[in-house]
Amino acid sequence: MAIRKVARLGHPVLRQRAEEVPEAEIDSPRVQGIIDDLLVTMVEYDGAGLAAPQIHESVRIAVLVLDEQTDPHIWINPVITPIGDEMISSYEGCLSVPGMRGAVARHVEIEVDAVDRRGRALHFHLKGFPAIVAQHECDHLDGVLYIDKADRSTMTFLEEYRRFGPWPLEKDARADELSGDDADE
């Protein structure tokens, strides 16, 4: 288990479509090692989520803290299905784009199918902040960063965000509450 360096904006690994993890490899030391490294690296960087490409591993694995009470989620090969058309904007940050915040519109409600580190099927129905984190992390597996989707006029340095923000968003002023503890993902 090791704390890994987080890849930053500009590193090509962040722009690749990550590979599916074959079912037969889930138990392998490599895959289990990537999961352990994701977990300790996320804690070290105080993130709300971390995807394998962010530690230079182009595989479809992400770890996420969806609430304070439960252990971090570990998702292998996650697939997101939006429920309905409702969108919500909130400020996001990313460990791979340090020191920035920007508002992104996401689906309010989603379903997620994935497998856990033992290969067991997972299914979740998520709404609000957990749904936002899930969409941010799963985008990483497709080589997409939140800045690709952010409203450019809302991009701000973290220091200015803390000094002058957070600003109410047009679509839903509650969005800032949703973004919770202001962690990077």
100 belongs to the binding site for Zn ion (CB under 5 A): no
185 belongs to the binding site for Zn ion (CB under 5 A): yes
Q: Which residues are bridge partners to 125 per DSSP? A: 111
Please tell me the count of residues contacting Zn ion according to CB under 5 A: 2
139 belongs to the binding site for Zn ion (CB under 5 A): no
169 belongs to the binding site for Zn ion (CB under 5 A): no
**135: closest CA among 78, 73, 59, 52?**
78
Which range, of 74-82, 91-99, 104-112, 165-173, touches Zn ion by CB under 5 A?
Answer: 91-99
Which of residues 35 and 62 has its CB atom nearest to Zn ion in the complex?
62
Residue whose entry in the numeric block shows the structure tokens 């994935």: 114
55 belongs to the binding site for Zn ion (CB under 5 A): no
Q: Which of 21, 26, 94, 110 binds Zn ion (CB under 5 A)?
A: 94
Q: What is the 3-state secondary structure (H, E, C) of 11-70?
A: CHHHHCCCECCCHHHCCCHHHHHHHHHHHHHHHHCCCCEEEHHHHCCCECEEEECCCCCC
42 belongs to the binding site for Zn ion (CB under 5 A): no
Residues carrying an active site annotation: 137
- Contact (Cβ atoms closer than 8 angstroms) between residue 144 and residue 53: no
Least spacing, CB of residue 94 vs Zn ion, in Å: 3
Which of residues 37 and 185 has its CB atom nearest to Zn ion in the complex?
185
Q: Which helix (H) or strand (E) holds 88?
A: strand 87-94
Least spacing, CB of residue 21 vs Zn ion, in Å: 19
Which of residues 57 and 185 has its CB atom nearest to Zn ion in the complex?
185
Residues that bind Zn ion (CB under 5 A): 94, 185
